[in-house]
């Protein structure tokens, strides 16, 4: 499973999502779209949004901190 998080350092929801992933021992790649233009373009191309957080789990895109969906996709109870 490949997990990417598109985020910015000043986004409190992004920080909460990072903590949730760490607490559940989910390895993820954090892409800072405020500094990484290619990551920002990838996020916009794949998710069609310019807001963060965007979580990409394999080919599943989750915009925002949708806990129910994230738990379902990651099989977390």
pLDDT digit string, tens, across residues 15-74: 999 999 999 999 999 999 999 999 999 999 999 999 999 999 999 999 999 999 999 999
CA neighbor of 50 nearest in space, from 5, 4, 7, 3: 7
Residues 6+ apart with CB under 8 A from 12: none
- Residue 60 pairs in a beta bridge with 57
Q: Looking up tokens 């598109």, which residue turns up?
A: 6
Omega cis (within 30) before 53? yes
Residue 77 pLDDT class (50, 70, 90 cuts): confident
For the domain bounded by 3-74, which CATH number is listed?
3.40.30.10
**pTM of the full structure:** 0.93
Q: What is the pLDDT of residue 6?
A: 98
Q: CB–CB of 70/76 below 8 Å?
A: yes
């Amino acid at each position: 499973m490949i997990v990417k998080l598109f985020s910015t350092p000043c986004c409190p929801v992004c920080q909460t999502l990072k903590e949730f992933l760490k607490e559940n021992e989910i390895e993820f790649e954090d892409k800072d779209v405020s500094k990484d233009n290619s990551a920002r373009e990838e996020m916009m191309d794949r998710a069609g949004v310019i807001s963060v957080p965007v979580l990409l789990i394999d080919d599943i895109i989750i915009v925002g901190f949708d806990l129910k969906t994230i738990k379902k996709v990651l099989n977390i109870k």
